[in-house]
A and B are shown apart, each in its own frame.
Chain A
């Protein structure tokens, strides 16, 4: 299983990695990208089972990345890990095709609840 963490904060990418291990996904291969554009470039060449993306990033935001993937990019499961968890953001994420939105601050349990239906 290969996961892609997309976040412009290196500290947050490390915390998401740690939380994935604690949530039971320690055996997954994890790649990282610092913004949506970098993630899009990586996804053109690398097969990924699930993208865990921040929303607010420089160069290309998470929702812009999801829109590009939905329109003409490689088909990949996609979820948000973001500090913006309002009802309207969740609805917009769902409309664009996101499978879940984990709001920061998160817990190991919130990761498990979001990932289990997607990854098993």
Chain B
């Protein structure tokens, strides 16, 4: 078993249609400089096949998808909702790609990066977000903790 571009197109279109209904028809284009991946969701696979599946898109597209999934206007979606929706998109595409690879394998929980926010793990809270500068360039270190391990977040699991 393996995966080629055709398989990725098929899986992605099936997932996209299921999330966006009649509007969910993607057009296949060549990779190019216009790829504007400001929001990226990623899952990793380990076991019979070791690898990762990442889904990246513009902030605008991520907001439109999130709005459709949460049934709200795209301009009012929160960072948590954005991470939830893009993480689930990566989970669905990644889970189906995993199924085309040799198994058995384990699928990770999704991780999402958003340009403004850095890494967002759905269900986790940001404990520390520390920025640095060196040679005029910035660097960021983040520490995240799963929200359900704190009393406060048990009351507000979202």
Interface residues of A (CB under 8 A from B): 8-12, 14-15, 34-35, 37-38, 56-59, 82-86, 88, 103-107
Task: Select which of B18, B19, B103, B158 is within 8 A of A10 by beta carbon.
Answer: B158
Query: Does A104 contact B157, Cβ atoms closer than 8 Å?
Result: no
Q: Is B74 an interface residue (CB 8 A)?
A: no
The majority secondary structure among interface residues of chain B is: helix
* B39-94 with Cβ < 8 A to chain A: 66, 69-71, 81, 84-85, 87-88, 91-92, 94
Q: Which residues of B contact A88 (CB under 8 A)?
A: 103-104
Given A9-B122, A82-B95: A104 in contact with B18 (beta carbons within 8 A): yes
Interface on B for A, CB 8 Å cutoff? 14-15, 17-19, 66, 69-71, 81, 84-85, 87-88, 91-92, 94-96, 98-99, 103-104, 107, 109, 122-123, 146, 148, 157-158
What CA separation (Å) do A35 and B153 show in the bound complex?
14
Residues of A contacting B15 in the complex (Cβ-Cβ under 8 angstroms): 104-105
Kindly provide the distance from the CB of A7 to the nearest chain B CB, expressed in whole angstroms: 9
**CB pair B84 A83 closer than 8 Å:** no
Query: Is the CB–CB distance between A86 and B103 below 8 Å?
Result: yes
Is B92 a contact of A58 with CB atoms below 8 Å?
no
